[in-house]
Amino acid sequence: MSKKALITGLTGQDGSYLAELLLVKGYQVFGLVRRSSTSNLERITHLSGDIQIVAGDLLDQSSLMDVIAESQPDEIYNLASQSYVPLSWTQPALTAEYTALGVSRLLESIRRCKPDAKFYQASSSEVFGQPDESPQTERTAFRPRNPYGVAKAYAHWMSVNYRQKYKLYTSCGITYTHESPRRGIEFVFRKITHAAAQIKLGLANELKLGNLEARRDWCYAKDAVYAMWLMLQQDQPNDYIIASGETHSVKELVECAFNCVSLNWQDYVSVDPAFYRPDEPVQLVGCIDKIKTDIGWQPQHSFEQMVELMVDYDLKKLSNSVI
Ligand code: NAP
């Protein structure tokens, strides 16, 4: 009999890739989707006949209990959250409701309705905030510096506590930034690859950015979701850093993206201090030794491959919309 998986955050970047992966692996996939007055299924339209969409919301305990009781999933992947750091400063309480308390509601629902389900929690490198060591490992202290990071730290420790107290199978993946053509345009990687394509096609003529020297550990989203699945295939739950293990600057990213469209980035890019992130984390880079050694995961896509495939995607998409 095929395994059953429930994904929260199905309509997001990671949820859509994870659903594709699980379908290929023969799972029956249930996706939790909250009500919206307009359709937000763009990332999963191509899967609509293969997934069972179930209505629920991380804000609503009874909907989570109903969904878990009815679908009886073997694996539950919690990818839903308010995931945009700047918004967490303007909506800190709502961010905590989704990203922190939502996980408490989910864990309680699992404990009551399907205690043998394996649970994956999407933790974030933002829990490290301003870390006191670099690269960070699974033992690095959490020092979150924004409401999103604080909420993710709460969710992480609640998952660990339910593992210890109730013996639930809970594993947390501490993911660093990961990107893809399905990434929201507000995130800097996609903003840059999208702008390079727009400028190439004559649809824009400038790109304003913040600190070009800021460095990030960027990974490809398909590689990250593969790690999530692999984590839940282990006999014992555990927490792992999911990252590329290397950093690149925003300037390197800009150069690479504009090279892909044969343009000189200096002709189009300007620095606007308004885009500087006030809480810029220092040297956030993950050490992936533990996940490599324990379960044999490592990224399959390089930084350059990721930039190229995202620029190509936007060139094709924008060309079609121009025609
Ligand atoms: P995303 O694209 O922003 O997707 C977030 C998902 O959460 C969406 O499907 C959204 O649904 C759903 N959601 C939000 N509030 C909800 C609620 N109250 N009830 C039910 N669903 C709700 O995020 P992502 O990039 O796929 O990231 C997946 C997870 O990894 C998130 O938890 C994120 O915080 C974490 N993470 C991501 C990165 C990264 O670089 N991508 C790095 C570290 C950690 P709607 O479509 O209805 O809004």
Residue range 33-57, pLDDT digits in tens:
998 888 888 899 999 899 999 999 9
Residue 152 falls within a domain, yes or no?
yes
Asked whether residue 251 is assigned to any structural domain, the reply reads yes
Q: Whose CA is nearest to atom 41 of ligand 1?
A: 178
Yes or no: say if 257 and 307 are a contact pair by the CB < 8 Å rule: yes
For ligand 1, atom 34, the nearest C-alpha belongs to 83
- 172 and 262, same structural domain? no
% of the chain surpassing 90 pLDDT: 89
CATH code of the domain covering residue 131 = 3.40.50.720
Single pTM value for the model: 0.95
Residues 79 and 207 in one domain: no
Q: Per residue in 152-193, pLDDT tens?
A: 999 999 999 999 999 999 999 999 999 999 999 989 999 999
Give residue ranges with CB within 6 A of ligand 1.
8-15, 32, 34, 36, 40, 57-59, 79-83, 98, 102, 122, 124, 175, 177-178
Asked if 172 and 271 sit in the same domain, the reply is no
User: Is residue 15 located within the same domain as residue 155?
Assistant: yes
Catalytic residue check, 154: no
CA pair distance 143, 12, nearest whole angstrom: 27
293 part of a folded domain: no
Is it the case that residue 320 has pLDDT exceeding 90?
A: no
Q: What is the pLDDT of residue 22?
A: 98
**Judgement on whether residues 277 and 130 belong to the same structural domain of the protein:** no
Domain total of the chain:
2
Q: What CATH code is carried by the domain that includes residue 276? A: 3.90.25.10
The answer to which of 42-51, 53-62, 118-127, 137-146 has the lowest mean pLDDT is 42-51
Question: What residue numbers bound the domain in which 255 lies?
Answer: 185-217+246-284+301-322
The dihedral over CA atoms of 77, 81, 84, 85, expressed in degrees to the nearest 10, equals -100
Whether 126 and 195 map to the same domain: the answer is no
Whether residue 292 lies inside any domain: the answer is no
DSSP 210: S
* Domain shared by 67 and 158, yes or no: yes
Cα(82) to centroid of ligand 1, in Å?
A: 6
Helices 250-260 and 188-200 pack at an angle, to 10 degrees, of: 30
